[in-house]
Amino acid sequence: MRLLLSLRRRRQRKIASQRRRVLSLRCMRKYSKTVSKRRKSLPRPNNTAIFFCHLRQGSCHPLATNLPGRWTFPSGELELQSNGSVLTGSREDRSSRDSPLSSLFGTPKTITRIEKSQFSGTVSGRTCKFKLETTRTEEPSGWSLLGTPSDSKIEGYILFAKDGCSAEVTELKAGRPEKYYKISKAT
């Protein structure tokens, strides 16, 4: 009888431990599913978050000293000058072309297209909040078939490298980052 009771107890213990193991496996599976769901739902950092994180770090560094010089932007080269924490620069491009109306109406034979770019920015550490305004005009005025050329205004942030020879730029449109690119100092 005692033997039978002890066998029964052993069997019950064995069944109970198996049940606990199965329950713990179920809990572990459930837990791993919720963890994987959480991992999937976590937002991954995008270019904007990464850039602004670096921008925040760059503003804590000392003021960059070797920023003046010729910088290569996608639209062309700009000569930048530094005056304390203000960075300014300008560029003027002139191109000439034949007037399509010159043979019909006896207008001037060439039209000169003038593109002026003005850069202004405030430097803080290795960062710069900038504004780049470009105006386009034609001389003599009023002889273009397409009307007056358009002007553009670009705002954004620049994060200069520690050596001051390259930088990352983000352009803003309606206060939101739109375009990312790199610029470098021309040698």
Q: How far apart are CA 34 and CA 36, in angstroms?
A: 5
pLDDT one-digit tens code per residue, 74-85: 888 889 998 888
Pair of tokens at residue 59: 């503003």
Taking alpha carbons only, the member of 173, 168, 147, 141 closest to residue 157 is 168
pLDDT over 80 at 126, yes or no: yes
pLDDT one-digit tens code per residue, 128-184: 899 999 888 877 665 555 555 578 899 999 988 888 888 889 898 888 888 889 999
pLDDT one-digit tens code per residue, 68-118: 899 998 888 889 998 888 999 989 888 887 666 555 555 556 778 888 999
Count of Cβ atoms closer than 10 Å to residue 28 Cβ: 10
Half-sphere exposure (Cβ direction) of 34: Cα atoms closer than 13 Å: 5
Per-residue pLDDT at 121: 94
| Better pLDDT: 118 or 24 | 118
User: With contact defined as beta carbons under 8 Å apart, do 180 and 63 qualify?
Assistant: no
For 94, residues 6+ apart whose C-beta sits below 8 A from its C-beta are 112, 113, 114, 115
